[in-house]
Structure 1
Amino acid sequence: MKSFLNRYSIAIFIISLLSTNLIAAQQEGNLKIESSESIKNIVAKKRAHNKNTTKVKGYRIQIFFGSEQGAYKAREEFNTLFPDAYLKIENFPPDWKVRVGNYKTQLAADRALVEIKENFGGAIVLAELIDVQRD
């Protein structure tokens, strides 16, 4: 029984010693990051490329799929309810699609979908290339 208690005591001592060292090792300090010229050139090229990019992967909400007359009716109804939102009508013969929004994430599109579904019950979120919003 004594050997069991001794082993248990030693184990607790070692664990407390290690945890004390880990806590003491976390100190504040300064970190200086140096990068080579080749890395800086790559970053500069990527930034220049991004300035010329007009489309990125994102999401839109499709509120209508069907006839031309239905598409224009859906557009008018949507513009009345959401006058500032982006909207586009596309023709994929013989059908027409009305898609709205430029959402960078699916979460943002899903949040908007909740509000849009109140008036457009068949609305769905679709992955699509969206227009880049420049600040």
Structure 2
Amino acid sequence: MRLSHFHKLFIFSILICFTVNNISAQQATVTVNQDAQIPQLLELKKSLEKENKLSDGYTIQLYYGELNRANSVIRKYRNIYSAWPASIEYETPNYKVWVGNFSTRLEADRALIEIQRDFSSAFILKPERKKKSK
């Protein structure tokens, strides 16, 4: 009887050893080689998206007119809101205050409802991207 307990314990110990070996054999190391310019390009892309330069989406216009008033409007906006980036765009001879970079009309509508509490004349527009001439 005692011998059978010894055999069971021995077999159980061997099974545990094989299981531990299989578990530890599942570890691996992955090496990623990337171009050194990729982080720079990602930062450039982020800054262009923040400035509404890459988007085919929607933006909210708060003001259209002269520069001093545009600066005043953007300062007021930035004191109240921080969720969406704002910028001043120039279109001869006027300046525009644009807010946000919304990929869908629904996102823009939701933001507009909130922004119109403080800027009642705000409206949504879909700016056209400037096409490069060949």
TM range (shorter): 0.5 to 0.7
Please list, as runs of the form range in 1=range in 2, the aligned pairs for 1:55-70 lying within 5 A after superposition.
Answer: 55-70=54-69
Which residue identity is paired with 2:82? P
Alignment of 1:18-37 (within 5 A): none
Whole-Å separation in 2 of the counterparts to 1:113 and 1:120: 9
Shift of 1:97: 0.1
Percent identity of equivalent pairs: 33
Contact residue 59 and residue 129 of structure 1 kept, 8 A: no
Work out whether residues 56 and 129 of structure 1, in 8 Å CA contact, stay in contact via their aligned partners in 2. no
Following TM superposition, the consecutive aligned residue runs of length 4 or more in structure 1 with deviations greater than 4 angstroms are none
C-alpha distance in structure 2 between counterparts of 1:120 and 1:56, whole Å: 23
**Corresponding residue for 2:123?**
124
* C-alpha distance 104-129 of structure 1, shift in aligned 2 (>3 A): farther
After TM superposition, the score normalised by the length of structure 1 is 0.53
Q: Which has the larger radius of gyration?
A: 2
Q: How far apart in 1 are the matches of 2:114 and 2:75?
A: 17
Q: Which runs of 5+ in 2 are unaligned?
A: 1-41, 130-134
| In structure 2, C-alpha distance between the alignment counterparts of 1:74 and 1:94, rounded to whole Å | 18
Once the 2 structures are TM-superposed, how far is the Cα of residue 84 of structure 1 from its aligned partner? 4.1
Which runs of 5 or more residues in structure 1 are unaligned? 1-50, 131-135
TM-score, normalising length from structure 2? 0.54
Q: Which structure 2 residues correspond to residues 74-85 of structure 1 after superposition, within 5 A?
A: 74-85=73-84
Aligned to 2:107: 108
Which of the two has greater strand per residue?
1
Contact 1:60 1:109 in 2 (8 A): yes
Give yes or no for the alignment of 1:95 onto 2:100.
no
